[in-house]
Amino acid sequence: MILLFPWFIPLVTYLLLGPHYLSDWSTFVGATGLNATLGFFCQWILDQVTKRITDQYPSLKQTATRLILLLVAFMSISLLIILSALWFYTQFHLFAYVYQPGVVRHILLFNVVVNLISVAAYESIYSLTKWRENMLEKEQLKKVNLQSQYESLKNQVNPHFLFNTLNSLSSLIADEPERAEEFVNEMAKVYRYLLQTNRGVETNSTSLPTTDVSATGDGELTLLGTELTFIHSYFHLLKTRYGQGIQLAIAVNESDQIRLLPPLSLQMLIENAVKHNVIHVSKPLTIEIKSTPDGQLLVRNNLQRKPTRRVLSNQIGLSNIQARYRLLAQHYTMPLEIRIDETDGYFTVILPLLNTIRL
C-alpha cells in the first residue's frame, strides 16, 4: 500500500474525471478521499483472503496453487470493487463524472497490470522468506539430529554403561562360559550397529543386517526389521544384567518390518524405560513393541517410577526422536509427530512408520 497508493489512487481518479480532477480543489480532495477509502477497503479484503490462502497452502511445494488462487482472488475482488465504484459514479454523477467506455477499459487494463505486479511482489517476498526459514530450520534440526546420534553413541560407550556390561560379562566367564561367549557376540553386534548408525555407513555383515539408509543419504532412516534385530541384541545385554526383572514382548507385523523409522529410536525408548523405572524380579519391567491397526509402531512399558529424584536424560530420548521426525517431515506432505501417553499405569509412545522419502 505504501508503494502503490500514493500514485495509483490519483492516477485512476484522473483517468475517471479528467482535467477537472486537478483544476478544482474540492473535487480533488473529495474524489481522492472517496477512492482512497475504496482502495483501503479493497486492500483490507485482499489481505484477509491472502492470509487464508497462505495459511491453507503455506509450503514452497504449493507455490503454484497459492499463486493461481492469489491471482484469481486479486483479479476478481479488485474488479468487483472497481465496477461497483463506477456504478456509483455513474448513478449519482459524482464529481460531474461522465461515463466513457475507452477510459473504463484503460482502468480495467491498468488494474490487471497492478494486480500482476502486486501478486508477483508478494509471492517473491513470501517464497524467499519461507525458503530462508526452511533452510534455517533444516540446519537446526540437522544439528539436533547429529547431536542426538553423537550423544547416543557417547552414552553407550561411557564408563558407566561399559562397566555394567563388563561386570555382567565377568560374572558369566567363570560359571557359565557358553553364556559368556554368547554375551560377547551380542555385545559386539550392539557396538557394531551403534558405530554403523552414527557413522552413516553400511556393512555387508551377515551376523547383523545392514543399516539400510533412505533416500536422504544421511542415515536418517533404517528398516524396522534391522532395528528390531539390533534390539534383540541390546535386550540380551539387559536381560543378562537384570534377569527376570525385565521382559520384552515384540508383536510386529511382517509387512511393517520393511518400513522405516529413525535409527536407535527403539533403543532410546527402552533405555528411558530402564532408567526411570524400578526393575526387580518381584516387580518386572515389561516393555512391549507392537504394530498398531493404523500402521504405526507402539512402544510401551508399565509404570513403576523410581522413588528417587528424576534422572537426567543426558539430552537424548523423546525430544531427540521428535526432532528427527520434524526433520524428516520436510520431505513429506504430511506432519510426522510421535504420540506420547501416560495413562492406566503405562507409558506409551507411538512412532510413525514411513515407506519412503517423498522429495
pLDDT at 1: 61
pLDDT in tens, 99-117: 888 888 888 998 899 899 9
Question: Minimal CA–CA distance to 326: which of 269, 262, 257, 258?
Answer: 262
Reported residue count of the chain is 359
Residue 231 has pLDDT above 80, yes or no: yes
Say which residue the cell 534377569 belongs to. 243
Q: Please state the rounded mean pLDDT for residues 298-306.
A: 93
More confident residue, 168 or 244: 244
Residue 358 has pLDDT above 70, yes or no: no
pTM of the complete model = 0.54
pLDDT in tens, 316-355: 578 778 878 877 776 666 668 899 999 989 999 999 999 8
Percent of the chain at pLDDT exceeding 70: 81
CA distances from 239 to 58, 117, 177, 281, 338 (A): 49, 68, 17, 12, 27
Buried b (16+ CB within 10 A) or exposed e, 238-266: bbbbbeebbebeeebeeebbebbbbbbbb
Straight-line distance from the first to the last Cα atom of the chain, in angstroms, rounded to the nearest whole number: 37
222 close to 198: Cβ distance less than 8 angstroms = no
